[in-house]
Amino acid sequence: GESVGLHLPTLSVQEGDNSIINCAYSNSASDYFIWYKQESGKGPQFIIDIRSNMDKRQGQRVTVLLNKTVKHLSLQIAATQPGDSAVYFCAEILPNSGGGADGLTFGKGTHLIIQP
């Protein structure tokens, strides 16, 4: 079954407000998480990542929070702009028993809509 999922398929926010996109994962062994942004007709674009030994990481206007107790991941976007409109995916990587990296496991995505 799918290990990574999202709470809401669509999120509508006012321009200038903060956005919070949530993600739940089921495998406690996952040790690396990435948020991607995908605009229509384009490939996923890397936003920010976090390892399981961290609970918070900040980038430019974005913050990722990881709560390992409840296996929850969130992406916070500050001062949302029209250019932030896209589908946002969280993805995880499970440790590979062979010592290598597995492919990313993606959730279905959240469509972020910015209201003027």
Partner 1 sequence: DAGVTQSPTHLIKTRGQQVTLRCSPKSGHDTVSWYQQALGQGPQFIFQYYEEEERQRGNFPDRFSGHQFPNYSSELNVNALLLGDSALYLCASSLAFREETQYFGPGTRLLVL
80 belongs to the binding site for partner 1 (CB under 8 A): no
Q: Give Dmax over CA atoms of the chain in angstroms.
A: 49
Cα three-residue angle 66-74-96, rounded to 5 degrees: 55
Distance, in Å, from the CA atom of 20 to the CA atom of 27, rounded to the nearest integer, reads: 22
Least distance in angstroms from the C-beta of 102 to partner 1: 5
Distance, in Å, from the CA atom of 75 to the CA atom of 77, rounded to the nearest integer, reads: 7
101 belongs to the binding site for partner 1 (CB under 8 A): yes
85 belongs to the binding site for partner 1 (CB under 8 A): no
Least distance in angstroms from the C-beta of 113 to partner 1: 15
Question: How many residues bind partner 1, per CB under 8 A?
Answer: 26
Distance, in Å, from the CA atom of 81 to the CA atom of 100, rounded to the nearest integer, reads: 38
Pattern 12-51, partner 1, x by CB under 8 A? --------------------x-x-x----xxxxxx--x--
How far is residue 104 CA from its own chain's centroid?
12
Which residues of the shown chain bind partner 1 in the complex (CB under 8 A)?
4, 32, 34, 36, 41-46, 49, 89, 91, 93, 96, 99-109
